[in-house]
Amino acid sequence: MYSSGSLVLMNSQESEAQARGTAETVARRSYGKLVAFLAAWTRDVAAAEDALSEAFASALVEWPQKGCPANPEAWLLAVARRKTIDAVRRQHTAEISAGELRVRAEGLDAAANEATIPDRRLALMFVCAHPVSGLAENTNSILCDGRYGPEATNG
């Protein structure tokens, strides 16, 4: 540990050890209380535990870099609440997306069921115009069958 006036600089191992020690102390002393606060707020104990565990993981990443907060319980509670809000938003977005995908899939199914082409000439035109057939350059001459004049194929 190096002291420069009021600023105390620690190497990364010391700061990581301090962050880990603070997190362990808070977990032993306040885990149940924090889960209870979050569960009362979310009405879901499992979601509260998940959010708190994510908050502890964030603490172990941030605290060695930025230092331990003055009130680690409040920091963990605030981060866990934000994690819960993010999870609810993701779930809401997923539900909306799933509904939209269902509507689109139903539309595609309906379009696939109506995929029959009633006019055989239209089917012939699609086959002839397809790039793989190699006939795309000659589509006008292929589709002209004598019933239509040259003006029908040029327009």
CB within 8 Å of 23: residues ≥ 6 apart: 56, 59, 60, 63, 72
Residue 13 has pLDDT above 70, yes or no: yes
The whole-number pLDDT of residue 53 equals 93
Judge if pTM exceeds 0.85.
no
Least confident of 47-51, 93-97, 134-138: 134-138
133: domain range? 120-154
The whole-number pLDDT of residue 99 equals 82
Domain count, the chain: 2
The whole-number pLDDT of residue 133 equals 64
Residue with more model confidence, 122 or 65: 65
CATH number at residue 10: 1.10.1740
With 0-12 / 13-18 / 19 or more C-beta atoms within 10 angstroms meaning exposed / middle / buried, residue 129 is middle
142 with 83, same domain: the answer is: no
67 with 130, same domain: the answer is: no
The whole-number pLDDT of residue 115 equals 57
The whole-number pLDDT of residue 1 equals 39
Residue 119 has pLDDT above 80, yes or no: no
55 with 80, same domain: the answer is: yes
Residue 50 φ then ψ, to 5°: -60, -45
Residue with more model confidence, 142 or 85: 85
Least confident of 43-52, 89-98, 116-125: 116-125
Query: For 8-24, what is the mean pLDDT?
Result: 80
Q: How far apart are CA 96 and CA 100, in angstroms?
A: 6
Q: How far apart are CA 77 and CA 146, in angstroms?
A: 81
95 with 132, same domain: the answer is: no
The whole-number pLDDT of residue 145 equals 53
90 with 39, same domain: the answer is: yes
The whole-number pLDDT of residue 39 equals 93
